């Protein structure tokens, strides 16, 4: 074991001396985090229908509203049995957002009239913090569905009259309502009754004229998805730093794959082979060095994020497990990339050819929510997806170990499989 540690320390020293490799390991991921963090929430292009989950607490009053919302081509909506389940689906990244229809919801033209100043909005919207670009679009679609109900109600005289009666009953049961506001609302109800009866011959006309009232409080309230106990707003860098850490791990894997082929061409590998060290010792030392470099780069990036950019870690222990599994996975990738060619340029080029598509389909460059269904399925083959999800679970998604465990197992399985494959190919080449 001492020999393995000695070889690992030697490789780490070589990495520190290589400024180009250090750029890809530390500087490039940091630049990515700063860039995407500063522009977080910008517009995106066309995307697949956003998956939204709804929880209806209105006792059936919101069925028409949810049906109108589901008619949009931009939304694919389903329901959850509880508010906590809806919130958890978004927190785990399974849905873009949840729509909570509260018990006091009223569909139609009076959803916004007569509400006390301190009343809650009848609809709450919780959007995945990693999908800020979708927040405005979702709020617009939800508001549009609410006002569509208002338009339908205004076009139906009998329905309009029924709703004015309900509002009058609510006014009678609200003695604390200010007299001036009560008069304004009663005047509005009289005016709407007159308009409705003029369109419905079966109803007697009213002699009172009407006025107008300003629209009430906002109908849609944005609520947090994650269980943030600090009471402070989340930093956008908390969302971008997990992917930047994975980019740092990729830089480590590429750098060590190149050094391995360099040592083979320079004869260093041959000299190590004729020493008392076995090939297993040499490769174990290389793998340990790559893994330690990945953990070190992750620690440096996290330290910058925590100290300078307000990144907060929800579960440090889970983060440690996630970083170990992710580093091991990219160590396995390193071993496979080191046998992609027989020269440094071939391995370096081949490494980026392999890594860039994996990063693109795994959420390292393109958000998963922007991908079509077939590409979302393909993303399961990318270690980027599993690594980012595991790290996000510890940084801001507030996932439990049971929720992150499948991702950790996938990362470890990839690590073992790819490392074994790389060692097998290298043994055959070394003869």
Render 294-349 in DSSP notation, one character per residue. HHHHHHHHHHHHHHHH----S-HHHHHHHHHHHHHHHHHHHHHHTTS-SSHHHHHH
Is the pLDDT higher at 43 or at 169? 169
Q: Kindly state the average pLDDT of the residues 316-322.
A: 95
Which carries the bigger pLDDT value, residue 352 or residue 189?
A: 352
Does position 164 have pLDDT exceeding 80, yes or no? no
Least confident of 43-47, 62-66, 124-128, 190-194: 43-47
Task: Determine the Cα–Cα distance for residues 99 and 123; give it in Å rounded to an integer.
Answer: 7
Q: Label residue 416 by pLDDT band (50, 70, 90).
A: very high
Q: What is the pLDDT of residue 207?
A: 43
Among 249-258, 355-364, 385-394, 417-426, the least confident range: 355-364
What is the pLDDT averaged over residues 7-28?
71
**What per-residue confidence (pLDDT) applies to 227?**
58
Residue 200 CB coordination number (10 Å): 15
pLDDT at 208: 42
> What residues contact residue 354 under an 8 Å CB cut-off, 6+ apart?
333, 337, 340
The pLDDT > 90 percentage for the chain reads 19
pLDDT in tens, 323-332: 999 999 999 9
Residue with tokens 């009407």: 210
Residue 313 backbone dihedrals phi, psi, to 5 degrees: -100, 120
pTM of the model: 0.65
Phi, psi (rounded to 5 degrees) for 10: -60, -45
Residues of the chain with CATH 3.40.1710: 50-222
What's phi and psi for 208, nearest 5 deg? -80, 150
Confidence bin at 103 (pLDDT 50/70/90): confident
**Predicted confidence (pLDDT) per residue in 71-101, tens digit:** 888 888 999 999 989 998 888 888 888 999 9
CATH entry, 50-222, from 3.90.930, 3.40.1710, 3.40.50, 3.90.1720? 3.40.1710
- Is 374 a residue whose pLDDT tops 90? no
């Amino acid at each position: 074991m001492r020999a393995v540690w000695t070889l690992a320390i030697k490789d780490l020293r070589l990495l520190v001396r290589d400024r180009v490799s250090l750029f890809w390991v530390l500087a490039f991921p940091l630049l990515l985090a700063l860039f995407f963090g500063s522009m977080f929430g910008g517009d995106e292009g066309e995307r697949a229908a956003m998956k939204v989950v709804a929880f209806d607490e209105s006792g059936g009053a919101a069925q028409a509203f949810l049906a109108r919302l589901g008619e949009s081509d931009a939304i694919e909506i389903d329901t959850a049995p509880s508010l906590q389940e809806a919130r958890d689906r978004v927190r785990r990244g399974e849905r873009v957002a949840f729509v909570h229809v509260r018990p006091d919801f009223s569909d139609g033209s009076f959803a916004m009239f007569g509400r006390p100043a301190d009343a809650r909005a009848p609809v709450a919207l919780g959007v995945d913090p990693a999908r800020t670009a979708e927040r405005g679009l979702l709020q617009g679609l939800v508001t549009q569905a609410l006002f569509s109900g208002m338009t339908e109600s205004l076009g139906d005289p009998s329905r309009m009259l029924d709703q004015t009666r309900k509002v009058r009953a609510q006014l009678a049961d609200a003695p604390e309502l200010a007299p001036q506001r009560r008069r304004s609302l009663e005047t509005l109800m009289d005016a709407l009754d007159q308009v409705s009866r003029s369109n419905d011959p079966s109803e007697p006309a009213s002699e009172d004229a009407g006025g107008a009232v300003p629209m009430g409080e906002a109908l849609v309230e944005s609520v947090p998805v994650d269980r943030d106990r600090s009471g402070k707003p989340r930093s956008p860098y908390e969302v971008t730093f997990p992917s930047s850490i994975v980019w740092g791990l990729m830089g480590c894997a590429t750098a060590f794959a190149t050094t391995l082929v360099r040592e083979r061409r320079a004869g260093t590998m041959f000299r190590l082979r004729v020493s008392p060290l076995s090939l297993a010792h040499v490769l174990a030392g290389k793998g340990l060095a790559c893994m330690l470099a990945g953990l070190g780069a992750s620690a440096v990036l996290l330290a910058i994020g925590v100290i300078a950019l307000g990144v907060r870690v929800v579960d440090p222990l889970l983060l440690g497990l996630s970083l170990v599994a992710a580093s091991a996975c990219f160590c396995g990738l390193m071993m496979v990339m080191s046998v992609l060619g027989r020269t440094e340029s071939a391995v370096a080029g081949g490494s980026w050819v392999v890594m860039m598509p994996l990063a693109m389909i795994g959420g390292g460059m393109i958000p998963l929510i922007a991908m079509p269904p077939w590409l979302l399925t393909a993303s399961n083959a990318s270690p980027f997806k599993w690594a980012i999800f595991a790290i996000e679970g510890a940084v801001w998604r507030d996932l439990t170990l049971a929720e992150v465990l499948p991702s950790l197992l996938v990362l470890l399985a990839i690590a073992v499989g790819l490392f074994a494959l790389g060692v097998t190919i290298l043994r055959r080449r070394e003869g």
